[in-house]
Amino acid sequence: MSLTYEEILTLEDLNCFEPNQAVYLLGLIFETGREYGRVGDIKIGLKFSEKQNLRNFSDDDKMTFHYNLANGWSYLQGLTQNLNSDDFWNFDLVELDQQIINLRQSLVFSKNAQDNFKKCEVLTNLGNLFSHIGRFSEAQLYWQSALEIDSSFSMAKGNIGFGLFHYAKILYDDGHKFLFFQFAYKYLNKAIVSDIYDEAKIGFQGIVDLLESRFHKKDLKKIQNLTDFSIGDTELEREYRIWSLQNRLFLNPLNDVITDNIAGSDCLLLPTMTLKFDKPPIYQTIFNQIKQEFVTARHFLFESVNHKELHYSDKDNLQLDILDSAIYSFNTEKIKTAFRMCYSILDKIGYLINDYLNLGFKSDRVSFRGIWNVHDKKSNKLQLNDKIIKTQNWAFRGLYWLSRDLYEKNPEFSYPIEPEAKELAQIRNFIEHKSFKIIEHGESGLYDDGLTLVVHREEFEKKTLKLVKLIRASMIYLSLGINLEEKRKHISSHVFPIEFVKYRDEFKR
């Protein structure tokens, strides 16, 4: 079939073409629309995508299809949104929804795809998008994942540097801040000398010039020894801390950048805060609690994954083997407990934000998914809370978008942007209220007429690790979001500093 570009735009759909041709044409329409500012072309491409039958598509074709579709939504946003207006800080845009959903779908199909270059593009674009919406901690992991596939992928290097530069600016620890600047300088310079497009090179060079105007070059290049730090007194503790470092699970922004020993501590706290004289340090109290719960959940996960020996409490616990490959043990209960604790932490974060931003929810009506919205009487629908939008807070914006990863039964809530959201919510529901079974052999799914949810052990471990990482990111956004708010406070009266001493390890019994 030989058609001109304009004739292709008049078609009903692209299903008459071979999968690779349809993917190519969709990409062509979006790129042409972007280059010539033709919003109509992009909208036609988006309509084509809605009608596209993917049944005969390979995983490579599906990966590229969703990648192109994400680009289409990005170009539509770029051509219709004024980046210098308040639209830039809009917490909720359908264009952003669709970019995230399609890039994540592309990433799912990339697992069995062969095109490594396209995989790196998907991961890099996900990192860029997550950084934009305030999920800057997770953005670093996407960019690092691209470099794990191809260590020479220059746009990932450049965006790591770009992201670290902006991430550094909202840190409250000056030592961490300068180390971030050093790594930003390192990655940006690597990207600049490589073969990247001019617009990116100019942007990266601008940040390098800015850093060199503030610091001496030799200081930016001289990164301290990052390994000469203790990570434990026993072999078991060192194993635990190395595992946590490699999985980037420490409550420490440095662990987003490096896995060296220096990042092997949970040093994240709330920043210095100014409170009314009669206000107790409730935020520090809540943060202490959720931090301890996170560290405990992380250790439960570590033990369950790495130490599967028989526990003495399981001895002489009489149970029946009904030949279903199920595992009932202290070990599996630890990972189930870690999973439950993670969801509990999210609601406590919502509880803290509700009070800190004075959102007005009654304490027994607070949930992490629900605090971002208020009921609009005119439309009789939920809408984003103006108090949150007006903060224009990058990290709080990230927390909002992180909440969109969660599934909520209430149809008034926006649909989740995480492909596994409904499945994770189902697991939580069955663990808490129903029959839940972990197996080592067989297939996951609903059994016993829907009464029992069965999940393979390795699959459950991966999902719990993913959830633990999500909680870690949420705590970083909470701390740094509050830091941004505290910096903006206008203090007109006298302030009396109160110093809290460090809670000593010997008291932790």
- Name the residue ranges covered by the structural domains of the chain: 5-221, 268-490
More confident residue, 411 or 162: 162
| Of 30-44, 80-94, 128-142, minimum mean pLDDT range | 80-94
At 154, the pLDDT band (50, 70, 90 cuts) reads very high
Whole-number pLDDT of residue 464: 97
Identify the pLDDT of residue 225. Answer: 93
| Residue 162: pLDDT over 80 | yes
* Per-chain mean pLDDT for the chain: 92
Q: Average pLDDT of 370-395?
A: 86
Q: Is the pLDDT of residue 87 over 80?
A: no
Q: Which two tokens stand for residue 143?
A: 């960019």
What is the crossing angle of helices 198-214 and 154-168, to 10°? 40
Q: Which residue has the higher pLDDT, 63 or 420?
A: 63
Containing 384, the helix (H) or strand (E) segment is strand 381-384
CA 90, CA 390: separation in Å to the nearest integer? 9
Q: What is the pLDDT of residue 270?
A: 94
Is residue 86 very low, low, confident or very high in pLDDT (cuts 50, 70, 90)?
low
Tell me the HSE value of 260 on the side-chain side, using a 13 A CA sphere.
12
Rounded to whole angstroms, how far apart are CA atoms 138 and 298?
18
The per-residue pLDDT for range 25-82, each reduced to its tens digit, is: 999 999 999 999 999 999 999 999 999 999 999 999 999 999 999 999 999 999 998 7
Whether pLDDT at 420 is above 80: yes
pLDDT of residue 376: 77
Examine the pLDDT at 203 and tell me if it is beyond 80: yes
Residue 383 has pLDDT above 90, yes or no: no
The pLDDT value given to residue 444: 92
Dist. CA 393–CA 484, nearest whole Å: 7
Residue 84 burial class via C-beta count within 10 angstroms: exposed 0-12, middle 13-18, buried 19 and up: exposed
Question: Angle 154-168/174-192 helices, nearest 10 degrees?
Answer: 160
Q: Which residue has the higher pLDDT, 382 or 429?
A: 429
Which pLDDT score, from 0 to 100, does residue 115 have? 96
Tokens of 211: 């850093």
Is it the case that residue 496 has pLDDT exceeding 60? Answer: no
Task: Give mean pLDDT, residues 106-124.
Answer: 96
CA distances from 366 to 351, 370, 383, 508 (A): 6, 7, 16, 30
pLDDT above 90 covers what percent of the chain?
79
Confidence of residue 501 (pLDDT cuts 50, 70, 90): low
More confident of the two residues 82 and 438: 438
Distance of CA 69 to the CA centre of its chain: 21
pLDDT of residue 374: 87
Which pLDDT score, from 0 to 100, does residue 389 have?
A: 86
Does position 21 have pLDDT exceeding 70, yes or no? yes
Average pLDDT over residues 174-186: 98
DSSP state at residue 326: B
Query: Residue 272's pLDDT is what?
Result: 85
Q: What backbone torsions phi and psi does residue 386 show, to the nearest 5 degrees?
A: -60, -35
- Cα–Cα–Cα angle for 48, 107, 294, nearest 5°? 135
pLDDT for residue 186 is more than 60: yes
| Backbone phi and psi for residue 145, each to the nearest 5 degrees, phi listed first | -65, -35
Pick the CATH number of 5-221 from 1.20.1530.20, 1.20.1250.20, 1.25.40.10, 1.10.20.60: 1.25.40.10
Q: Identify whether the C-beta of residue 396 lies closer than 8 Å to the C-beta of residue 412.
A: no
For 440-493, what is each residue's pLDDT tens digit? Answer: 988 899 998 889 999 999 999 999 999 999 999 999 999 999 999 999 887 766
